[in-house]
């Protein structure tokens, strides 16, 4: 496995000729951040050896290298979801590769459903913790000690110093930023009303179908993680029919994407 991660990373490093310090994963409808990357060099996932290919609409499937200010970054425009049928090892493959590219930080974003009754569609939420409600953990199986420990401590999975800085940035730019806990489950079904209530009752503020596997794997390898959820819909719907569509999720995400981009940008420059 490790040889495979290294091979994929070396293929990319030989072409871009620099090591990125920050990895970024852009969620549904949030790919616009990649346009802010200067001097960019991008790769379609399908041209990268051993990289999976994404199947969801709105995920274009590109790895974009370049600069944000004086920081070297690599961004995934489109991620791999467990609900697409990939094993956890595949879902998290790009994060393992990013480690071998040299990243020290991973910034993750996602579209999520709001459970906290004070959240509205269009809010941004800083992720300060998560609940892994996937039926699997991406670290199941043999542990490779050169990657990270068998039993990783998860008490500070989302880097506290980045949370502090992000709050300052949001305040300085008058961006409303909620804070809370992301629960990740497999999907692809959205939650029933009973499931929304259940997730809320066990302490989650937003719910989604991604992020947790990648964050666990990054944290396992000692990468500092920062995450933002875009609340695209709520468990207490304001629409008369109360239904959630993928189109709505993407539209709302697209509307607030500039604010999320601003926070990511400023935070990366401050590292």
Residues that bind ligand HPA (CB under 6 A): 111-113, 190-191, 207-209, 232-233, 244, 249
What is the closest distance, in whole angstroms, from the C-beta atom of residue 76 to ligand HPA in the complex? 17
Looking at residue 36, the DSSP 8-state letter turns out to be G
Chain centre to alpha carbon of residue 271: 18
Shortest Cβ 207–ligand HPA spacing (Å): 5
Query: Angle at Cα 23 formed by Cα 21 and Cα 28, nearest 5°?
Result: 160
Residue whose CB is less far from ligand HPA, 152 or 187: 187
User: Where do we find the tokens 């029919």?
Assistant: 241
List the structure tokens of 8.
Answer: 């994929």
**Crossing angle for the helix pair 246-269 and 160-172, nearest 10 degrees?**
100
17 CB burial (10 A radius; 0-12, 13-18, 19+): exposed
| Structure tokens belonging to residue 1 | 């496995």
Q: Which of 92, 229 has the CB closer to ligand HPA?
A: 229
Q: Which residue is nearest to ligand HPA (CB)?
A: 113
Nearest residue (CB) to ligand HPA, 76 versus 111: 111
Calpha distance 50→90 (Å, rounded): 10
Please report which helix (H) or strand (E) contains residue 114, including its range: strand 105-114
Shortest Cβ 8–ligand HPA spacing (Å):
28
Task: Give least dist CB 248 to ligand HPA, A.
Answer: 9
Cβ nearer to ligand HPA, comparing 151 with 240: 240
Write down the least CB distance from residue 243 to ligand HPA, Å: 11
Following DSSP, what letter does each residue of 148-210 receive, concatenated?
--SS---TT-B-HHHHHHHHHHHHHTT--EEEEEEEE---SSPPPHHHHHHHHHTT-SEEESS
Nearer to ligand HPA, 162 or 204 (CB): 204
Closest CB to ligand HPA among residues 77, 250: 250
Closest Cα partner for 33 from 253, 270, 271?
253
How many C-beta atoms lie closer than 10 Å to residue 32's C-beta?
15
- For the annotated catalytic residues, the residue numbers are 28, 59, 81, 83-84, 111, 209-210, 233, 246
Shortest Cβ distance from residue 148 to ligand HPA (Å)? Answer: 28
């Amino acid at each position: 496995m490790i040889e495979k991660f290294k091979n994929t990373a070396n293929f990319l490093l030989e072409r871009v000729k620099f090591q990125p310090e920050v990895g970024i994963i852009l969620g549904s409808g949030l790919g616009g951040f990649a346009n802010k990357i200067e001097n960019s060099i991008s790769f379609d996932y399908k041209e990268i050896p051993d990289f999976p290919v994404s199947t969801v609409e709105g995920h274009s499937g590109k790895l974009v290298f370049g600069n944000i200010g004086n920081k070297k970054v690599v961004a995934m425009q489109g991620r791999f979801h467990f609900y697409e049928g990939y094993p956890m090892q595949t879902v998290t493959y790009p994060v393992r590769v990013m480690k071998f590219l040299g990243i020290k930080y991973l910034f993750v974003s996602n579209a999520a459903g709001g459970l906290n009754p004070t959240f509205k569609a269009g809010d941004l939420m800083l992720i300060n913790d998560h609940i892994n409600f996937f039926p699997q953990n991406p670290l199941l199986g043999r542990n490779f000690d050169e990657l990270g420990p068998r039993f990783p401590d998860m008490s500070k999975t989302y880097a506290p110093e980045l949370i502090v800085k992000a709050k300052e940035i949001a305040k300085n730019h008058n961006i409303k930023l909620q804070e809370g806990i992301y629960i990740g489950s497999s999907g692809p079904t959205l939650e029933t009303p009973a499931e929304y209530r259940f997730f809320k009752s066990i302490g989650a503020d937003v719910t989604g179908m991604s992020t947790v596997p990648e964050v666990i794997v990054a944290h396992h390898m000692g990468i500092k993680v920062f995450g933002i959820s875009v609340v695209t819909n709520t468990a207490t719907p304001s629409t008369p029919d109360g239904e959630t569509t993928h189109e709505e999720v993407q539209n709302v995400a697209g509307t607030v994407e500039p604010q999320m981009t601003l926070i990511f940008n400023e935070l990366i420059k401050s590292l």
